[in-house]
Structure 1
């Protein structure tokens, strides 16, 4: 079956890597389902993609931070008689600051979106992906490879996504379903605004790769069936070096690299 007869769901599709992924899928001929809270932004994107690539784009407003948001999205898609050939679990965000100072509710909402929603959507759409021998792309992060002071919960959620993705990749291989964990480093997107982390030394004054570059490379990795993909040579080296470095040292280094930069 050619991509022109396939359909992909992308969550967090209104901006950043999700929006860029939508361009990659549409360029390859996939019909799309875009899901996020910002319906107006997604509709503008849908209009552009439909005109440029002659694909069908369905826009669904979904609040995936809520306990039943993922189930509602699945029900909505099934009510439209849509079968998925690819699922991109891209929605997610982080928050910057010391854990002792953060409010509990936003941390729990982040855990719901970054972890629970990934599991629920994967579970509910697996029958589609197995039937179509499809592809699953989960957006993790280089944060997945070590603890992250100043973003403790976010780093932990991405470690979960990476571990979950690698495990089910092994389980699903006999069924012809590939699973790819995309693990970008800091990327020029709306993430820094949402996380309120512009003061972090990780991003302040740095030239970051674009969402478009990360999405294009991640999309190609998904099509290859690569289980873990880390864009950027230095990101890959740093992720691998964690395996040979004492964890206390790694955590101290990440704390130093992430701390609020001097004004």
Structure 2
């Protein structure tokens, strides 16, 4: 009988690492995907030491051509099938869109959107077959326009919309589909994006471990969205109370103050 796994992208740091720990602690065998093989091996060893099943390590840069095919080949070689898919890999860049490097911004779209969609469509039949689930990591940014991080915010709006649509399309088939929408979480994301965490991180921040715990529980309960932390849960409610132009002006003022 073919073994089933939970495939987690971006597993070498931050929320991805904590999601791997949570799934493994709940008796899932995890397949870990990221660029940094040394980090993945360390995580795999820690999972085994904690009593988890030996993870499958797939060192792969998902921004490279044919990377999805490489993931598929690695799973086939290990004789495993995807029961749960966790699309966590992604990044953002801080700055005005017209000033940032074009290729780097297109890379955000490639990783945050194209690869997420590619992997979802490649493995959805397997997920349905095993009545598993899909967890896509969006962001509270997906509810907002994002001057100062325009492409990143837009990419997360795509993730949120796509995931909610899948949640509806797969309803009744025994498949869980959830969008995880955290606020500022102190991880390596900020360093790569190019900004220092501000007071929003201090007020709204929830630890990566807590985000992962709530994400796992929300997915298992088939919640359409998970917004970790009380402060983040309030944001979509507040957004409905103000016109879009007002929200846009507020985000612009706040974001560009980081410069």
TM-score range, shorter chain: over 0.9
- 5 Å-filtered alignment, 1:145-164, equals 145-164=143-162
Task: Give, in whole Å, the separation in 2 of the partners of 1:147 and 1:217.
Answer: 25
User: Offset of 1:202 from its aligned partner?
Assistant: 4.1
Q: Describe the shift of the 1:238–1:143 C-alpha distance in structure 2 as closer, same or farther (beyond 3 A).
A: same
Which residues of structure 2 form unaligned runs of 5+? none
**Are positions 1:245 and 2:239 aligned together?**
no
Partner of 2:72: 74
Q: Contact (CA 8 Å) 2:25, 2:52: kept in 1 or not?
A: no
Partner of 1:187: 185
User: Offset of 1:96 from its aligned partner?
Assistant: 0.3
- 5 Å-filtered alignment, 1:1-263, equals 6-198=4-196, 202-203=200-201, 208-261=205-258
Task: Give, in whole Å, the separation in 2 of the partners of 1:165 and 1:261.
Answer: 30
Q: Secondary structure at the match of 2:64?
A: coil
Task: Give, in whole Å, the separation in 2 of the partners of 1:243 and 1:117.
Answer: 31
Task: Give, in whole Å, the separation in 2 of the partners of 1:78 and 1:245.
Answer: 50
For normalisation by structure 1, the TM-score amounts to 0.93
What is the root-mean-square deviation in Å for CA atoms of aligned residues?
1.7
Which residues of structure 1 form unaligned runs of 5+? none
User: Offset of 1:200 from its aligned partner?
Assistant: 5.7
Task: Give, in whole Å, the separation in 2 of the partners of 1:72 and 1:6.
Answer: 18
User: Offset of 1:54 from its aligned partner?
Assistant: 3.5
Q: Contact (CA 8 Å) 1:65, 1:110: kept in 2 or not?
A: no
User: Offset of 1:11 from its aligned partner?
Assistant: 0.3
Q: Describe the shift of the 1:192–1:81 C-alpha distance in structure 2 as closer, same or farther (beyond 3 A).
A: same
Task: Give, in whole Å, the separation in 2 of the partners of 1:6 and 1:53.
Answer: 18
How big is each residue's C-alpha offset from its partner over 1:84-136, in whole Å with a ceiling of 9 and x where there is no partner? 11110000111101111101010011110000111010011111101100011
Q: Contact (CA 8 Å) 1:8, 1:84: kept in 2 or not?
A: yes
For normalisation by structure 2, the TM-score amounts to 0.94
**How many correspondences in the alignment?**
257
How big is each residue's C-alpha offset from its partner over 1:126-156, in whole Å with a ceiling of 9 and x where there is no partner? 1110110001100000000010110000000
Q: Secondary structure at the match of 1:221?
A: helix
Moved more, 132-141 or 234-243: 234-243
Q: Contact (CA 8 Å) 2:180, 2:225: kept in 1 or not?
A: yes
Task: Give, in whole Å, the separation in 2 of the partners of 1:49 and 1:24.
Answer: 10
Moved more, 62-71 or 146-155: 62-71
Q: Describe the shift of the 1:207–1:185 C-alpha distance in structure 2 as closer, same or farther (beyond 3 A).
A: closer
Q: Secondary structure at the match of 1:100?
A: coil
Q: Contact (CA 8 Å) 2:184, 2:205: kept in 1 or not?
A: yes
Q: Secondary structure at the match of 1:25?
A: helix
Q: Contact (CA 8 Å) 2:184, 2:204: kept in 1 or not?
A: no
Q: Describe the shift of the 1:224–1:199 C-alpha distance in structure 2 as closer, same or farther (beyond 3 A).
A: closer
